[in-house]
């Protein structure tokens, strides 16, 4: 078994892990990031880059290069109830460098961070390296065990960070208590071709008992079809033809392309979960991102909340890690900083699930927007509120002075 040593070992090369690894290495901390796959090419991952994240890229001096990557921009969110458009959010008024949501394949975002990380002397990224367990010594987590391309390995570290997603192996190995909040829905993701004559804007479409979101990806639509939780087998029993017919009825814009869904394999199920840890840390170990709190896809905020966790963690931990003196108080302070935005965002998502999504999926009543959304249509100024909550979050983070570049 190989043995490696680093100051901070991060399990998971997703948005939280890559951003934290890059920020710490930039600040002079030796970092090793473990990514279990050979590359970042996985479809139907969260790929909404919100204004809060792009503001961080601006503070890092990376925004100009970042926006050279292929992406589409949305300055507003619109929901359609039947054939009626209801504006939801207007991002154009946000006081940031990029007042819009950028839709970008997540692999491009992660490759961008990885490339800049590899240019730093303190950054190491191990691909095909899966964290499998923890080693404790002296009453604290002292190392990670991993399966790597070269065989089994032990990585000793002053701090281990679990950023390995909502099904985190390290979260399980640490024996953390998970508070299940629940979600009434699952999501089927799929692609349909897009034509120049199609509408250009990303939008949500509401029908009786059905709800879908269409994300403009340039030459194709990335579609999210929301179903009541646990009803996939019922859809299978009704047959693919029935699903395509329902899709065509809900989304007339792509009715002539429904047969592009050739089999159930073209539909990828996201089992929606909303949960969080009661405590994110224990001596020598902290969870961030989805490993600490799984978010509903409502608002597409999961990626950006994970990045905010990473920035908060880097701001607090960079100094102690450089001094090799991380205390439990430092880890507790990271959770304390991020507890409020996590709980507030989840509370908002649950309220939307219960008051908007559940009645839609139940098919009860006419297809019309609830009163709150009608107010957004009647009073355009109110659209700045959801834009702020979605685009920036309840507590946006910034690059602090302790994250200044170091050799």
Paired with 31 in beta bridges are 8, 123
pLDDT digits (tens, 9 = 90+) for 318-373: 999 999 999 999 999 999 999 999 999 999 999 988 888 888 888 765 677 778 88
The model scores a pTM over 0.75: yes
Query: Can you give the pLDDT at residue 44?
Result: 58
Query: Can you give the pLDDT at residue 182?
Result: 83
**CATH number of the 2-181+273-398 domain:** 3.50.50.60
Query: Can you give the pLDDT at residue 47?
Result: 81
- What lies within 8 Å, CB to CB, of 193 at 6+ separation is 219, 220, 221, 257, 260
Separation between Cα atoms, residue 114 and residue 125, nearest integer Å:
8
Secondary structure letter of residue 317 according to DSSP: H
pLDDT digits (tens, 9 = 90+) for 107-138: 999 999 999 999 999 999 999 999 999 999 99
Separation between Cα atoms, residue 110 and residue 225, nearest integer Å:
26
pLDDT digits (tens, 9 = 90+) for 90-110: 999 999 999 999 988 899 999
Separation between Cα atoms, residue 369 and residue 174, nearest integer Å:
44
Dihedral (Cα; 305, 309, 312, 317), 10-degree rounding = -170
């Amino acid at each position: 078994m190989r043995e490696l040593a680093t100051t901070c070992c991060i399990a998971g090369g997703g948005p939280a892990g890559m951003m934290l690894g890059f920020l710490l290495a930039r600040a002079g901390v030796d970092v090793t990031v473990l990514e279990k796959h050979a590359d970042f090419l996985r479809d139907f991952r969260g790929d909404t880059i919100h204004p809060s994240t792009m503001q961080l890229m601006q503070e890092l001096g990376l925004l100009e290069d970042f926006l050279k990557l292929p992406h589409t921009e949305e300055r507003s969110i619109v929901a359609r109830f039947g054939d009626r458009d209801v504006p939801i959010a207007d991002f154009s008024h946000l006081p940031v460098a990029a007042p819009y949501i950028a839709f970008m394949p997540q692999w491009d975002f992660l490759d961008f961070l990885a490339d800049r990380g590899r240019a730093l002397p303190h950054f190491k990224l191990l691909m095909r390296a899966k964290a499998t367990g923890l080693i404790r010594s002296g009453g604290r987590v002292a190392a990670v065990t991993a399966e790597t391309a070269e065989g089994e390995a032990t990585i000793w570290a002053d701090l281990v960070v679990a950023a390995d997603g909502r099904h985190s192996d390290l979260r399980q190995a640490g024996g953390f208590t998970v508070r299940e909040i629940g979600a009434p829905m699952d999501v089927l993701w799929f692609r349909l071709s897009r034509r120049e004559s199609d509408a250009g804007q990303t939008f949500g479409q509401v029908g009786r008992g059905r709800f879908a979101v269409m994300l403009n990806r340039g030459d194709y639509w990335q579609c999210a079809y929301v179903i009541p939780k646990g009803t996939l087998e019922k859809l299978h029993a009704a047959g693919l033809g029935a699903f395509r017919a329902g899709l065509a009825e809900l989304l007339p814009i792509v009715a002539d392309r429904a047969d592009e869904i050739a089999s159930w394999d073209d539909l990828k199920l996201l089992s929606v979960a909303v949960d969080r840890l009661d405590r994110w840390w224990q001596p020598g170990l902290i969870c961030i991102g989805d490993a600490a709190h799984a978010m509903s896809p409502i608002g597409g905020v999961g990626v950006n909340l994970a990045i905010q966790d990473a920035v908060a963690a880097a701001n607090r931990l960079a100094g102690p890690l450089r001094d090799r003196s991380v205390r439990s108080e430092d880890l507790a302070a990271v959770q304390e900083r991020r507890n409020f935005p996590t709980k507030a965002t989840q509370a908002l998502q649950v309220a939307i699930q219960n008051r908007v999504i559940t009645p839609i999926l139940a098919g009860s009543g006419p297809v019309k927007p609830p009163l709150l959304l009608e107010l957004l249509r009647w009073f355009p100024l109110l659209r700045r509120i959801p834009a702020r909550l979605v685009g920036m979050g309840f507590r946006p983070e910034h690059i602090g002075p302790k994250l200044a570049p170091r050799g």
